[in-house]
Chain A
Amino acid sequence: MQASNLLKLDTRASKRSNMLLEQSLAKPRRDKVSLGAFAFLFAEIIRYSQNRVLGIQDLEAKLNELGKRVGVRVFELLMWREKNVHRETRVLPTLMFINTVVWRALFDKQADSLGHSTENDDEYMITDNEPSILKYISVPKEMASFSPGAFLAGVVEAIVEGCQCPARVTSHLVPADGMPLKTVILLKFNQEVMEREKRLETTK
């Protein structure tokens, strides 16, 4: 009885697999959902995570982890779909890729700026003046240093890893005039990446 039940499950599940694998990935099957749907989901994810962590660092780490799973899949889809794009393996082209292609695919706009830290050679910053997905997340004063952009940082972290430039990626809220949600994604590239960059520079 057990075996035949499992067999039945198997054929039904494989029907689903076949359907799934036959769908074309070339064009997104659906374009948009409401920002409200995402905002509600995201807020609930933060609330759920908050109950399972001790402290802001932990919470940001959880969101980062969530974002990584998203980033892996976004990266694969983009590589598959975008014409005139090949997978980058150097730091600067990877950052440009994220700034333009990735941001455009996810948020219909390019990231607002790309910067290189003056103090630390291995640190770069991607700035988004108004990340739409953070629009309806309000951070209480007692958690002022918490940046819900940690989710975005996770997405970016997965993508740079996919481009063979692993980094530690964090997100920081830097509100400015008229831009209360201005977020900076800080990427600190791993040592081996910087060393490789140096090597590749000198052999040019």
Chain B
Amino acid sequence: MAKQYKAAGEEAWKNNVEKVNAELFIFTYGSLVVQLMRDYEDCAAVNAQLDKMGYNIGVRLADDILARTSLERCADLHATAEAVAKVGFKMFLNVVPTVVGWSADSREFSLQLDDNPLNDFCELPPRAVQDGLWYSNVLCGVVRGALEMLHMQTEVWFVRDVLRGDDASEIRVRLVRMLDEEVPAGDD
């Protein structure tokens, strides 16, 4: 199962995805975080804003993935996790996080990012580290938004980050509940 996602992700990256200079992307993201730090001055608020922006992105990203690959519906959270890592991340950032840390009830897992492109030229000032900035928090929002489009309500948060001196970056995903496909109320 993991092999099929790996192949799908690599196929999508090779053939179905237009590319752009990575460093332009990385610098643009950095510029955004600087802007947010100036606007909010409070790291918790910046984290929240990054998450919100990521959510907006994730919601549209799910459709993009489905349009560019021929993925079928994932049978369970294990399959979903593999798809997120091997297809989602691969298609957009050309990196593949490892899926680790499954909880006993199989409702939580971690994405361990050994290589996060957003970190490439970044060093956090001690103040930001102290105040709890999660630099790549946008990724949490993206995962949360995309999974919501696939009818899963999740909580996604950063556990470790190399920019804060940890040895690896790790995002934790927890399935809260499955969302039913409902017709929005009042939409006659």
From B24, B34, B53, B165, give the contact of A44 (CB < 8 A): B53
Max chain B Cβ within 10 angstroms of own Cβ: one of A11, A15, A37? A37
Q: Are A132 and B117 in contact (CB under 8 A)?
A: no
Chain A: interface secondary structure? helix
Q: How far, in angstroms, from A164 to B93 measured CA to CA in the complex?
A: 35
Interface residues of A, count at CB 8 A: 45
Most chain B CB within 10 A, of A34, A40, A73, A74, is at A34
Q: Which residue of B lies closest to A49 (CB)?
A: B35
A17 in contact (CB, < 8 A): yes
| Contact yes or no, B18 A35, CB < 8 A | yes
CB contacts (< 8 Å) of A65 on chain B: these are 35
Tell me whether A13 and B124 are in contact (CB under 8 A).
yes
- Please measure, in the bound complex, the distance between the C-alpha atom of A155 and the C-alpha atom of B124, giving whole angstroms: 23
| CA A36 to CA B60, docked complex, whole Å | 10
Question: Please, which residues of chain A bring their CB within 8 A of the CB of B49?
Answer: 48
Which A97-145 residues sit within 8 Å CB-CB of chain B?
105-108, 132-133
Cross-chain pair count, CB within 8 angstroms: 132
Interface hits, A63-77 → B, CB 8 Å: 65-67, 69-70, 73-74, 77
Task: Report how far A79 CA is from B30 CA in the complex, Å.
Answer: 20
How far, in Å, is A123 (CB) from chain B's closest CB? 26
Q: Are B22 and A30 neighbours in the complex by a CB distance under 8 Å?
A: yes
Nearest chain B CB to A7 CB, angstrom units: 11
Task: Indicate if A58 sits at the interface (CB-CB under 8 A).
Answer: no
Sorted from nearest, which 10 A-B pairs have the closest CB atoms? Answer: A12-B165, A32-B19, A35-B18, A69-B31, A37-B92, A70-B27, A40-B57, A35-B20, A34-B17, A66-B31
Q: List 30 A-B contacts (CB under 8 A).
A: A11-B165, A13-B123, A13-B126, A13-B165, A15-B165, A16-B124, A16-B163, A17-B123, A28-B22, A28-B23, A29-B120, A30-B94, A31-B19, A32-B20, A33-B94, A34-B91, A35-B18, A36-B61, A37-B20, A41-B138, A44-B56, A45-B32, A66-B31, A66-B35, A69-B30, A69-B34, A70-B30, A74-B24, A108-B21, A132-B18
